[in-house]
Amino acid sequence: MKYVDEFRDPVLTGHLLRELAATTAAIARPLRIMEVCGTHTMAIFRSGLRALLPPEIELISGPGCPICVTSAGHIDTFLHMADLPGTRLAVFGDLFRVPGSNGRTLADARARGAKIDVVYSPTDALELARQNPDELMIFPGIGFETTTPAIAATILTASHQNIDNFVVFSTHKTMLPPLMALLGDPSLGLDGLLCPGHVSTIIGASAYLPLTGANHLACVVSGFEPTDILQALILMARQIKENRAEVENAYTRAVNWEGNARAKAMVDTIFEPADMEWRGLGVIPGSGLAIKERFARFDAQPRLSLVVPNTKEPAGCLCGQILKGITTPPHCPLFGRRCTPAGPIGPCMVSSEGTCSAWFAYGNESRGTQDS
């Protein structure tokens, strides 16, 4: 397949792996690198790349899986909204099986009669609102800068077309504030950040500049194919070797320096910064996006007078520490025993891009060499 196969070329991968190994060998110490994005976590496991990387590279998963960082209180609120009379929920597929604080999921709610549709796009939710004028269609807004513009565009459409039975419950988050908060912790001992490719298409590579100064981190924006990731890791290893801390862009076919001005403007029209609760990380000031007063009729929170409950994490669940990069899934007492993809307890096991789900599915492969 064009534009995919070229980036999975085994010969090119072999060259890049050797180049990376030579650079990391010259540094001669472990390199702690955080891959921020859940899609990177999955791509590195799925392509088999993890098993081929030089032994010096230690990859730590970051807080970039949107389902995983959704607080239990927010999930409980979604469940509450699904149970209200006259409502209908449209959700992204991976939200469907995430348990709230008492273990209940939207899948359970639907089985008991709640009206919940799985959609691929917020515009599908708006279409469902049109088709069901007697019901209030609620769309739980989930995700980072990648998904937010589509939600903003849908709210704008609803506003232009005067559709009154469509509301969004925004738990939208921005990527930089949690990174700033996390990376301020020196005990993490990070050398570099593999910056999320999809988010960067919107915010631009320049967004990571604050991290290079204050935290002296090598930041490289990466795509999701094996050669993309290897190219980014080589650039990062060179920075570390030369004691540089810069932003470099290894995903130029999708990401530019400034980002997508039109998408950012659309988000600014609808949303404004707000404090947001992150699962495992607590409330991070200014890390969320709330719907502006002007569009309050599309905001589920005031329209339904919702109060998000304070909830506790499931006993024993280490998702919070895993999301911070402090520990890895095998250290969690629930991992693989009481918490599995078939019966998840923590959110990192639910989403296919969650760190625990990836570790469960693909295990901790021993490092090897490319043999083709």
Three-class SS of residue 197? helix
* Contact between 99 and other proteins per CB under 8 A: no
**Contact flag: residue 271 with other proteins (CB under 8 A):** no
Q: Could you say whether residue 111 binds other proteins (CB under 8 A)? A: no
Selected from 32, 149, 329, 334, the binder of other proteins by CB under 8 A is: 329
Q: Is 90 helix (H, G, I), strand (E, B) or coil?
A: strand
Listed ranges 27-35, 94-102, 200-208, 246-254: which one lies at the site for other proteins (CB under 8 A):
94-102
Match 């081929």 to its residue by tokens: 52
Q: How far is the CB of 213 from other proteins (least distance, A)?
A: 28
Instruction: Tell whether residue 47 is a contact of other proteins (CB under 8 A).
Output: yes
Does 316 engage in binding with other proteins (CB under 8 A)? no
DSSP for residue 252: T
Q: How many CB atoms lie within 10 A of CB 359?
A: 22
Determine which residue in the list 21, 31, 38, 76 makes contact with other proteins, applying CB under 8 A.
38
What number of chain residues touch other proteins (CB under 8 A)? 60
CA distance 274 to 280: 18
What are the residues whose beta carbons fall under 8 Å from the beta carbon of 104, sequence distance 6 or more?
79
Q: Which of 23, 41, 87, 146 binds other proteins (CB under 8 A)?
A: 146
Which window, 6-14, 184-192, 211-219, 274-282, contacts other proteins (CB under 8 A)? 6-14
Residue 197 and residue 221 in contact, taking contact as beta carbons nearer than 8 Å: yes
> HSE (CB half, 13 Å, CA atoms) of 103?
6
CA dist 324 and 308 (Å) reads: 23
| One of 78, 139, 144, 251 touching other proteins (CB under 8 A) | 144
- Residue selected from 27, 48, 181, 313 as contacting other proteins according to rule CB under 8 A: 48
Q: Is 40 in the site for other proteins (CB under 8 A)?
A: no
220 burial via Cβ count (<10 Å: 0-12, 13-18, 19+): buried
Residue in 355, 351, 372 with CA at minimum distance from that of residue 363: 355
Rounded CA-CA distance 77/101 in Å is 10
Going by C-alpha positions, the residue among 147, 1, 61, 130 that lies closest to residue 357 is 61
SS3 (DSSP) at 159: helix
Residue from 13, 165, 170, 174 binding other proteins (CB under 8 A): 13
Is there binding between residue 124 and other proteins (CB under 8 A)? yes
To other proteins, the closest distance from the beta carbon of 302 in angstroms equals 25
CB under 8 A: which stretch of 41-49, 80-88, 183-191, 235-243 binds other proteins? 41-49
Phi, then psi, of 370 in degrees rounded to 5 = -70, 125
- The footprint of other proteins on residues 339-368 (CB under 8 A) is 340-342, 351-353, 359-365, 368
Round to whole Å and give the CA distance between 50 and 53: 6
Site mask for other proteins (CB under 8 A), range 157-196, x = bound: ----------------------------------------
Q: Of 275, 283, 363, nearest to 46 (Cα)?
A: 363
Q: Are 10 and 371 in contact (CB under 8 A)?
A: no
* Closest separation in Å from C-beta 284 to other proteins: 18
Q: Out of 74, 88, 172, 198, which residue is the one contacting other proteins (CB under 8 A)?
A: 198
Closest CB 121 distance from other proteins, rounded Å: 9
Residues in contact with other proteins by the rule CB under 8 A: 1, 4, 8-10, 13-14, 37-39, 45-52, 65-67, 92-97, 118-120, 124, 142-144, 146-147, 198, 226, 329-330, 335-337, 340-342, 351-353, 359-365, 368, 370-372
